[in-house]
Chains A and B, each alone.
Chain A
């Protein structure tokens, strides 16, 4: 047992070193440092800043700074937070406890809910309970966590039952111990519930699938043949087996919670690790970022180790001592290793060269990179569309028989059409404000004199932004004029039709939703194309060649998967963003999301390629002298196509949610452009909660609708292609 822990911890050291180096480089590459603010203010003298620079070692090159940091950390000194003016260890101490509290409570609650729900819906398969549970699961998977958190805060603000944020009440320190504990619990309730709902759905579906499989197992019949009662067979024999895969997923669940908690902590103003990392990245508080990312990774590693330990306890077939196959080293291996290292160095060197080059060269390099990205993206989308077309030619008939799948396909088609024709359907441009009509409620439509007319409103109280109908004052709509589907038939340029209300500067929410749809709906498609092409190339080649290629590809994949994805997203975003203007931000977001997303796909495809490689028809093709490229395209791709289609449909939501999350944190699409996540950010104001401007939450609903449609469509496609597919 101790040997197992020692080995695991030792093997984690290179991973931690790599992650710290990556975090450090990202921090270094992003412009500005912790002194940027001080430099900008005039009353701090130049000498003082230089003195600070020397103190913090900012005048040294990056490798000197990094080794200095490493040396300090190795001695247990995590450094000093320049924004909070406290030692990092002290800061982390409080935050880690808060986040652990949150994650562990949420995970426990998720398990407590997911296991009985999954078991019951397996036992009552296809009955009403199962259907309702599935409905809940689909909804819970499809709702963005920050939107749920917003709704939670809205609910808490309206009812006053729970605090709307923070970790303690203002008068916490003056309360007796029992009341203090109660205060903690009350503040934990909302974030725990929101995080748990997010993960309960996935676990429940896994539990249900496992339980259904194990119910059919031969040992269940043996147990019944012994004379055991149905309950004992199900809850002792089957449950003990069905729970094991769930235990395996514990590590990933913890990682997901750590990532997801950034958003929930942000909305609920909960002082946890995620919030700290986010703030520190934004403020360039170097020591805090490094220490907190390390902390997050260590927590993740411990979670994985705990999962392995629990699994070994629960499943006697698993042995902890099992070590992975070791690699034999010979001359050939060293040569190819050298090649890989040289290629990596070349890429890094080119990157650094561009970074230090003149602006002109930088611009050329950026445009070249952009051209490559756009070209690759276009190629990927082309390949994907071609595959989708080929598959749908085969699949549309069975899809007609699945009402839910067909309906979600219909919803998606309508959404895509609306986004495509946003210029025509939207009555106003996305950026057109009307400062007299801030937070205008949705306008009522009335039927008058054979025409559809729009009710007019008057502002009655500017403080609470309340509007009243002006009786008898309506403006008729005119259809199909000036290239618009509909517009107001009036000369008054200040009159507006707000189908879904207006935001704080009087912009039409309906129009903004349509323009925002362009971003949300395309980001998934483009992102998934890049991800899958990369995943297919890396995973396919790794599985096909095996050996050293496989070894390095998989270590790379594990490296990317080991970093909590939202931290990586934040880091990459802040390192790269200043080099791009807001128009290129869209491309950048796709690039970052794909960079994080391809790893999981590559791993799955590698597994499939490994098994495909053994198939006789692949051997036959090799025997005929077919080239690697030909085997990959002609033999692997068609066999993986249906899997890829289902996986793609089911992973598009990840991109939509990722963009929404970034924009929601203010790091994605920037004002005045419209994006659903960005629009939800506007809704994060106490004023909106208090005054009940419900229409500000509609972007969340739009995300929810899109994501649930993709999920339902993906499941329907999977049922058609292969009901036993594990996804």
Chain B
């Protein structure tokens, strides 16, 4: 089912296992059990699954953003452009973070630091990765304008609480894109926003991805936004990838019962059903 040739993949993850310890010396609770996937250049991979299935921790573990051992143990391989990320030291990883792999998160209002201006926070990232760059302010304002913020000069000096949720997420995206990363990890970028803003942000991500040929790892629990955005879909269920393939194939012809259940949960316009579908976990467990 692997569509990509391993050699052309930009990011390749093999047998990723993540476990947490809640106490010192306590038992290791494995939440991701050996996940493998890869993303090619300019490709969009959507990881779909319900909350607690291990999507977000998998995304954070790519550049070791999870707590350090013994609270959290990560094993497996994550190869980016031929380099092994999990074995890298902190200093080398910092070069990757933001510059090559950038993140945007679910809740823009808590993801931005409340006591610094938007411009300051973006500038900080630019200064870090391009220390020789001149006229950083102009660069940052362009980055803000690129994500559809009209009065970029005003937003530059604004504090996060002075912006609406949609504007905050745009600013987050501008911050992630300011250093022109090769991969954007979008961890549920639209979950905390209302529906009209969701559409705008998704359209923005689509345009940017097309213009810059940037790879996107989209993490979501919503099959609805996957259909017209992702090239490939991986379905995660309780720490395992249970199904993977081209988006159209998976949507049209889901193989795994969990995938079928997830797709059945999408409410449709004009649907005459009286109840929303839920997932029957007991039945799924009996199957697997």
Contact = CB atoms under 8 A, between A and B. Distances in A.
Contacts of A227: 94-99, 125, 128-129
A510 to B, nearest CB: 44
B229 interface: no
Given A230-B90, A316-B159, A316-B161, A225 B103 contact: yes
B112 interface: yes
B115 A241 contact: yes
B173 interface: no
A337 interface: no
A222 interface: yes
A521 B80 CA distance: 67
B161 A218 contact: no
Nearest to B106: A218
B81 interface: no
Nearest to A221: B65
A39 interface: no
B193 to A, nearest CB: 15
Nearest to A225: B103
Interface string B113-135: 11111000000110011000000
A223 B65 CA distance: 10
Interface in B247-275: none
A162 to B, nearest CB: 41
Interface of chain A, main secondary structure: helix
A229 B128 CA distance: 10
Nearest to A228: B128
A219 interface: yes
A85 interface: no
A224 B66 CA distance: 10
Interface string B75-107: 000000000000000100011111100110101
Nearest to A244: B115
Contact-residue bracket for chain A: 20 to 34
Contacts of B128: 226-228
A317 interface: yes
B279 interface: no
A217 B110 contact: yes
B65 A241 contact: no
B175 interface: yes
A314 interface: yes
A221 B105 CA distance: 9
A579 interface: no
A229 B112 contact: no
Given A226-B124, A317-B159, A241 B99 contact: no
Contact-residue bracket for chain B: 20 to 34
B63 A225 contact: yes
A237 interface: yes
Contacts of B102: 225-226
Contacts of A218: 105, 107, 110-111
Interface in A314-330: 314-317
B60 interface: yes
Nearest to B103: A225
A241 to B, nearest CB: 6
Contacts of A222: 103, 105, 111-113, 172, 175
Nearest to A233: B113
A226 B103 CA distance: 8
A317 B162 CA distance: 9
B111 A219 contact: yes
Contacts of B107: 218
A227 B102 CA distance: 9
A224 B90 CA distance: 11
Nearest to B63: A225
A469 interface: no
A227 B129 CA distance: 8
B257 to A, nearest CB: 34
A394 B94 CA distance: 49
B110 A219 contact: yes
B114 A241 contact: yes
Contacts of A68: none
Interface of A: 126, 217-219, 221-230, 237, 240-241, 244, 314-317
By Cβ-Cβ distance, the 7 closest A-B pairs, closest first, are: A227-B98, A227-B97, A225-B103, A218-B110, A316-B159, A226-B98, A219-B113
12 contacts: A217-B110, A219-B112, A219-B113, A226-B175, A227-B97, A227-B125, A227-B128, A228-B125, A237-B116, A241-B113, A241-B114, A316-B115
